[in-house]
Amino acid sequence: MAILTAIIAAAKIWDAVGDLIMGIIVDNTRSRWGKLRPWLLFMPVPAAILSGPQLARLHGCQAHATAQGWSGP
């Protein structure tokens, strides 16, 4: 139980630090679309590309994911 508590606490701390850093980045953004809108419009594509390998288990050239969800080992 202590390990689970430590993992959750570390995740909360990481989230708090990440939120602070992203808040500073957004506050310092100057564009014709405002402060936050460029991040909302342009960041989903790189985020999807970077998170894709985390969601796919590759075997040769095929990903083992089904329409119903993950088809783990």
Range of the domain at 35: 23-50
On whether residue 28 sits in a domain, the answer given is yes
On whether residue 56 sits in a domain, the answer given is no
Q: What is the number of structural domains in the chain?
A: 1
User: Model confidence over 22-72: pLDDT tens digits?
Assistant: 999 999 999 999 999 999 999 999 988 888 777 776 554 455 555 555 555
Non-local (6+) Cβ contacts of 57 within 8 A are 63, 64, 65, 72
On whether residue 36 sits in a domain, the answer given is yes
- Of residues 62 and 4, more confidently modeled: 4
Q: What is the pLDDT of residue 61?
A: 47
Q: In the structure, how many helices (H) and strands (E) does the chain have? A: 3, 4
On whether residue 40 sits in a domain, the answer given is yes
On whether residue 18 sits in a domain, the answer given is no
Q: What is the pLDDT of residue 73?
A: 54
On whether residue 11 sits in a domain, the answer given is no
Query: Can you say whether the dihedral through the CA atoms of 48, 54, 58, 63 is positive or negative?
Result: negative
Q: Which residue has the tokens 């985390």?
A: 54
Q: What is the pLDDT of residue 60?
A: 47
